[in-house]
Amino acid sequence: MGSIERIRNVARRVAKWHAAGHQVVVVPSAMSGETNRLLGLAREIAADPDGRELDMLAATGEQASSALLAMALQAEGVKARSYTGWQVPVRTDSSYTKARISSIDDARIRGDLDAGRVVVVTGFQGIDEEGHITTLGRGGSDTSAVAVAAALKADECLIYTDVDGVYTTDPRVVPEARRLSVISFEEMLEMASLGSKVLQIRSVEFAGKYRVPVRVLSSLTDPLMSLDEEMRSGTLITFEEDEKMEAAVVSGIAFSRDEAKITLLGVPDKPGIAFSILGPIAERNIDVDMIVQNQSVAGTTDFSFTVNRNEFSRAVDVLQNVVAPAVGAGEIAKDDKVAKVSIVGIGMRSHVGVASLMFRTLSEEGINIRMISTSEIKTSVLIDDKYMELAVRALHKAFGLDQAPGAAA
């Protein structure tokens, strides 16, 4: 019933935009809990169900919610029609459970829009070249929405979620965290890849590839609030680094506890050693994040990298059984009690001393840095996970993120 009420609220909100003269395409996710329910059934039947059949199963969640939303729109007096991924069609590759969108045919959607209809497109799914149903992986509805917006060259893609925008950091860790009214695409990409759960990273990548302006908004606000008010809420992810951008050097602090560090000690230091170690890891589809190779001492080196904590034991197995014998390494040091904390901001490009303020702040809190990784607009450190919250709070304060933009910097 809570979910039905949510569908009604979405319909009211969409009807409002439609009444204001906008052509609207809606990409709903499944009803709350439905995807978990379906995957739970699959796991009751098989420990490791076939990907093709899993997608066939999971795709029903969005199909059902899309049909229900179309009915709710009709009940609001709005002409509406829902389409599954294959009806559009949304074409993807054949990587079941984590397919990538290759193209979207906009003809059918555009025909309905021009006929005055609101079009509801099932998120999360598509079809591959042979006509099998595929899904895009968790959070895939965001990616679908951005991809549909790109295909239709929409003015903006509004993503309604259970938070009301992108924050300087997670408000559950730092109560002073502020909502950003604008964030650059590049910053958002770093935030998403560094552990901010607001948007699926692939949806941000898609937005970047096709330059789709995305606005993150709360689905929990009054659906009948004025359009002006609605557009002032949330966070706009923009490609224009103009006056709208906040003047802060650092825009946000991201963090992730899903980290584990592995070090191979006493590796013979010779050309190609990094590939010898990481090649077998990559072959097994294990993502490596931070990588550090220490200065060579007496012909050997220590080689460290981090993986997702879920893949820790698989990665250690590969190192022990495949890599270590092959490269003649010594001991393997393991640590899955680590966390990654990152500062992100396009201002870092033009401001010096940003990283050093980060390191000083952590040092003043007595937090030891285990690894460092940098890019043009972010600096990440790996620390003991028990210090994670402390580090985030200290950095949030040190970079003035708890003050409104006008007041800071």
Rounded least distance, CB 130 to its own copies, Å = 10
Determine whether the annotation assigns residue 212 to a binding site.
no
User: What does each C-alpha distance from 371 to 317, 338, 391 come to in angstroms?
Assistant: 22, 10, 15
Residues touching its own copies: how many (CB under 8 A)? 38
Determine whether the annotation assigns residue 62 to a binding site.
yes
Q: Does 312 bind its own copies (CB under 8 A)?
A: no
User: What does each C-alpha distance from 317 to 311, 323, 325, 332 come to in angstroms?
Assistant: 10, 9, 12, 11
Q: Does 7 bind its own copies (CB under 8 A)?
A: yes
Which tokens belong to 306?
């981090």
Which lies closer to its own copies via its Cβ, residue 71 or residue 278? 71
Which lies closer to its own copies via its Cβ, residue 47 or residue 298? 47
Q: Does 254 bind its own copies (CB under 8 A)?
A: no
Determine whether the annotation assigns residue 162 to a binding site.
yes
Rounded least distance, CB 57 to its own copies, Å = 4
Rounded Cα–Cα distance for residues 22 and 49 (Å): 43
Rounded least distance, CB 287 to its own copies, Å = 27
Contacts (CB under 8 A) with its own copies, residues 43-72: 44-46, 49-50, 52-54, 56-57, 59-61, 63-64, 66-68, 70-72
Residue with tokens 């092959």, as numbered in its chain? 326
Rounded least distance, CB 200 to its own copies, Å = 23
The full 3-state SS of 349-367, as one line of letters, equals HCCCCHHHHHHHHHHHCCC
Residue with tokens 């949030």, as numbered in its chain? 396
Which tokens belong to 205?
């990548």
Query: What's the sign of the alpha-carbon dihedral 90, 93, 97, 100?
Result: negative
| Sheet of strand 182-184, all strands in order from the earlier edge strand to the far edge | 157-161, 214-218, 235-238, 182-184
First to last CA, the chain: 47
Which lies closer to its own copies via its Cβ, residue 66 or residue 301? 66
Q: Does 228 bind its own copies (CB under 8 A)?
A: no
Which lies closer to its own copies via its Cβ, residue 88 or residue 315? 88
Determine whether the annotation assigns residue 249 to a binding site.
no
Rounded Cα–Cα distance for residues 152 and 112 (Å): 12
Q: Does 196 bind its own copies (CB under 8 A)?
A: no
- Among positions 29, 86, 194, 307, the unique one binding its own copies when judged by CB under 8 A: 86
Which tokens belong to 244?
């709208």
User: What are the φ/ψ torsions at residue 283 (nearest 5 degrees)?
Assistant: -55, -30
Which lies closer to its own copies via its Cβ, residue 133 or residue 166? 133
Phi-psi region of 131 (alpha: psi -120 to 50; beta: other; left: phi over 0): left
SS3 at position 25: strand
Q: Does 272 bind its own copies (CB under 8 A)?
A: no
Rounded least distance, CB 38 to its own copies, Å = 6
Q: Does 297 bind its own copies (CB under 8 A)?
A: no
| Beta-strand pair 80-83/118-121 | parallel
User: What are the φ/ψ torsions at residue 27 (nearest 5 degrees)?
Assistant: -120, 90
Cα–chain center distance at 114: 33
Which lies closer to its own copies via its Cβ, residue 27 or residue 70? 70
Rounded least distance, CB 21 to its own copies, Å = 24
Cα–chain center distance at 141: 12
- Among positions 19, 75, 115, 231, the unique one binding its own copies when judged by CB under 8 A: 75
x/- letters, 115..154, toward its own copies (CB under 8 A): ----------------xxx---------------------
Could you tell me which residues are annotated as the binding site for ATP?
Answer: 161-162, 167, 172, 197-198
Residues lying near its own copies in the complex (CB under 8 A) are found at: 1, 4, 7-8, 38, 41-42, 44-46, 49-50, 52-54, 56-57, 59-61, 63-64, 66-68, 70-72, 74-75, 81-82, 84, 86-87, 131-133
Could you tell me which residues are annotated as the binding site for substrate?
Answer: 35, 62
